[in-house]
Structure 1
Amino acid sequence: MTNEIITSVQNPLVKRLHQLLSRKGREEQQRFLVEGAHLVEEALKSGAEVVTVIYDQQRDMDPACQRALANHPEAVQVIAAPETVLAKLSETKSPQGIVAEVKKTAADWAKWVDQKREEQGSLLLLFLDEIQDPGNLGTILRTAEAAAIDGVVLGSGSVDIYNGKVVRATMGALFRIPVFTQSLVDTADEWKAKGGRVLISSLEQNSVSYDEADYAGLTALVIGNEGRGVSKEMFAKADQFVHIPLYGGAESLNAAVAAGIFVYEAQRKRR
């Protein structure tokens, strides 16, 4: 662990890291920022490729982050900086005093599925069809990890998984659960070719209640867009439609709430 000092927001490194607050910058550099002691600690402990840690020199570094840095297998650039620099790299109104630059990961979907099938025999996945709200996506990932879902596929057109609000809402789950961002229609075809089933959340007439559905074997649950639900293209891939009964006057459930109910019921039955 090496320690350096940066004093100016005009520093080239600070300017480059500031670009990671935009989706374009994250895609060009294939890196993203993590903010706050808890998330920085989680990134370090999970084995993520942490490149740089910048902390507020007036606050000193959080002890848990110091321990995680000491145990991190790779060298990490550690920099002390004033509050103005941390504010430049923060999306929150009150900067939390520490940020980390992390490399994106890019696992191969087909290889991952085949390996997991060989190891486990069965899989439970979440397919997310154009989820737009960062808070919803982050909460879904956090819930999926808590329920021990094997993996998540985020369809094209969804909010950027490395958006700061998404990362914060995951509370570290992003570093522990496999997430693949790709065409959901193509993924469904590949999944079905491997013997997988696709269960789509919908109030279709032939839909069964979530507590009556079969979640055994190779199962993927599809959660749709907050406004329009599941796309027509994905509807055509359904092996079964499932729904959560609405006993009150509400027309629908929040996407993250619905995902939580589905994954916990699925795991209850599978276990």
Structure 2
Amino acid sequence: MELQQIGLQHPAAHLVRDIRNNRTGIPRRLFVAEGLFENNLVLDTGVSVETFLWCPAAAYSDEAKKRAAELAERARHAYQISEKTLARLGERPNPDGLVSIARLPDWEPDSFAFGDDALVLVTDALEIPGNLGTLLRTLDACGADCLVMTNRRTRMTHPKVLRSSQGMSIKVPSLGFDEVGDAIKWLKRNRFRVYIADTDDSTHYRTLNYGGRTALVVGSERFGVSQPWYDAGFQRVGIPMLGSADSLNVSVSASVLLYEARAHKNGW
């Protein structure tokens, strides 16, 4: 491929670093995919590729060269970079010369058609990108329908979300609501039975009725679920704490609840 050579001062290189550093003012839903695994997901899911950066000197496989041609054809802009530039832009060793700036899909609340046994996770004020990424990976693994976010504290395009989700942030549908009340109305309109994860005044998670459409709400790492969810009168679900600790990591507790719901729905 004959591509224009650019360096670290080019706007495309600046944008990669801005996204990596989670800076404000980044165009909506842009993320950076690096290496074969992440760029294969970009190609397989058909997401929009804004810019592709190709370093042929760092390509260690024939597959990388093949994917580079496909990405260059898909991208709105494609450039060549040196190994030195790649080393400054990349985060992982041996990324096979592939760096893309792509755009997450836009999912709209009214576009979903849920089955009778739909399973949804709601994250309320989740703060740590690694936890969000882990939950997206779990949602994919247990066949959940989508993620719903309220009181958002971290961006879906944060580099740690993509990395910790193993790329599932591209594949798992996600919705964000600016107001908790709007999310509650949407869940009620779609006939979801909603459970709030909380150890206080809760029902044992093994004894709940997970039939029909189920939504599980988990809260922030520091403060838990916000008050509007409780004001809506939803039932609480708890996981027994048998030691000295009074809570589990949010991604662990959500995973336990999601798989319990899936086991009931699938008759495991």
Does 2:83 correspond to 1:83? yes
* Matching of residues 18-29 of structure 1 within 5 Å: 18-21=17-20, 22-26=22-26, 28=27
Quote the Cα distance in structure 2 between the aligned partners of 1:72 and 1:245: 49
> 1:127, 1:153 within 8 Å by CA — same for their partners in 2?
yes
Please say if 1:218 is aligned against 2:245.
Answer: no
Q: Which amino acid aligns with 1:100?
A: S
Structure 1: state its 5+ residue gaps: none
**Cα distance, 1:158–1:64 mapped onto 2, change above 3 Å:** farther
Cα displacement (A) at 1:80: 2.8
1:203 to 195, 199, 207: 199
Distance in 2 (CA, whole Å) between partners of 1:25 and 1:95 is 29
Q: Residue 93 and residue 196 in structure 1: after superposition, are their counterparts in 2 closer, same or farther (change >3 A)?
A: closer
Task: Give the whole-Å Cα distance in 1 for the aligned partners of 2:78 and 2:234.
Answer: 51
Q: Distance in 2 between matches of 1:238 and 1:263?
A: 21
Q: Aligned residues, how many?
A: 262
Match status 1:241 vs 2:240: no
- Name the residue aligned to 1:12: 11
**2:240 counterpart SS class:** coil
Aligned to 1:107: 107
Q: Identify which range, 56-65 or 208-217, moves more after superposition.
A: 56-65
SS in 1 for 2:176: strand
Computed over aligned residues only, the root mean square deviation of the Cα atoms, in angstroms, reads 2.4
Unaligned runs of 5+ in 2: none
Distance 1:149 1:10 in 2: 42
Tell me the SS of whatever aligns to 2:58: coil
Distance (Å, rounded) in 2 between the aligned partners of 1:150 and 1:29: 23
Does the aligned pair in 2 maintain the 1:44–1:69 contact within 8 Å?
no
TM-score by length of 2: 0.87
Correspondence 1:159 to 2:154: yes
Q: Which residue does the alignment assign to 1:35?
A: 34
SS at match of 2:37: helix
Identity of aligned residues (%): 27
- Aligned to 2:24, what secondary structure does the other structure show? helix
Q: Which whole-Å CA distance do the structure 1 matches of 2:71 and 2:10 have between them?
A: 26
Contact 2:53–2:80 (8 Å) recurs in 1? yes
Note if contact 1:40-1:65 (Cα within 8 Å) is conserved in structure 2: no
Contact kept? 1:3, 1:78, Cα under 8 Å: no
When structure 1 is superposed on structure 2, of 49-58 and 157-166 the one drifting more is 49-58
Partner of 2:164: 169
Partner of 1:122: 117
Distance 1:68 1:87, change over 3 A: closer
Aligned to 1:44: 43
Q: Specify whether residues 68 and 58 from structure 1 end up closer, same or farther in structure 2 by C-alpha distance, changes over 3 A only.
A: closer
TM-score normalised to structure 1 length? 0.87
